[in-house]
């Protein structure tokens, strides 16, 4: 029994020494990804580029909505004085406008969502490359997202370096410069 206890104690002590040896080689940093995404000029330019690209389509949909609302109001206002066939024609036109508008909105939303996803994928890929480069240059063996860590000393935060390097990496392909 005493022999087993001594063996167990020796094993625990050995593991403790080994883990401290391995921990000495571990260099850790944290990065606030959300802050980089919010503060980056590259991300801001990519958002502006998306808005500029899809603004005309959005404006067309908005114009079609206003026309449909005006047609509905016109029908409500004049339905008493309209003939039955004119009222029916106006109702059919409004129904057709509504179907067309719904289809346009769905298509627009799908295109916009796809473009946003592609842009975000490009942003995150570039960000991962920048973080990996900084980690290699500074000898970090582990870089963790800041929000995934309960506590980290402020000197472990490489967010300013990442932001500076990310913005210096230039505009994303397809984004307006």
> Phi, psi at residue 157, to the nearest 5°?
-80, 120
End-to-end Cα separation, the chain, in angstroms: 74
Which of 171, 158, 159, 157 minimizes the C-alpha distance to 38?
159
pTM attached to this predicted model: 0.73
For 88, the token pair is 């029916």
Residue corresponding to tokens 């039955």: 84
- Identify the pLDDT of residue 29: 96
Per-residue pLDDT reduced to its tens digit, 110-132: 999 999 999 999 999 999 999 99
Check if the beta carbon of residue 115 is closer than 8 Å to that of residue 130.
no
Name, in order, each residue with C-beta under 8 angstroms of 97's C-beta and a sequence gap of 6 or more: 64, 67, 68, 71
Check if the beta carbon of residue 134 is closer than 8 Å to that of residue 140.
yes
- Identify the pLDDT of residue 5: 43
Q: Average pLDDT of 16-40?
A: 79
All structural domains of the chain with their residue ranges? 4-168
- Identify the pLDDT of residue 170: 83
- Identify the pLDDT of residue 25: 82
- Identify the pLDDT of residue 172: 78
Check if the beta carbon of residue 137 is closer than 8 Å to that of residue 169.
no
Residues composing the chain: 177
Arch. (CATH architecture) of 4-168: 2-Layer Sandwich (3.30)
Run of H or E residues at 143: strand 142-145
Per-residue pLDDT reduced to its tens digit, 143-174: 999 999 999 999 999 999 999 999 998 877 76
- Identify the pLDDT of residue 175: 58
């Amino acid at each position: 029994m005493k022999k087993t206890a001594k063996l167990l104690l020796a094993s625990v002590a050995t593991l403790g020494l080994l883990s401290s040896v391995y921990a000495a080689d571990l260099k850790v940093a944290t990065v606030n990804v959300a802050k980089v995404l919010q503060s980056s000029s590259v991300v801001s330019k990519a958002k502006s580029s998306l808005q500029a690209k899809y603004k005309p389509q959005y404006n067309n949909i908005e114009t079609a909505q206003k026309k449909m609302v005006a047609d509905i109001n016109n029908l409500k206002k004049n339905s008493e004085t309209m003939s039955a066939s004119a009222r029916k024609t106006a109702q059919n036109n409004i129904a057709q406008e509504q179907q067309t508008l719904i289809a346009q909105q769905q298509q627009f939303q799908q295109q916009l969502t796809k473009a946003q996803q592609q842009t975000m994928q490009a942003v995150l890929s570039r960000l991962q490359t920048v973080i990996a480069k900084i980690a290699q240059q500074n000898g970090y063996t582990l870089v963790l997202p800041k929000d995934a860590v309960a506590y980290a000393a402020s000197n472990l935060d490489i967010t300013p370096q990442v932001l500076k390097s990310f913005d210096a990496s230039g505009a994303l392909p397809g984004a307006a410069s």
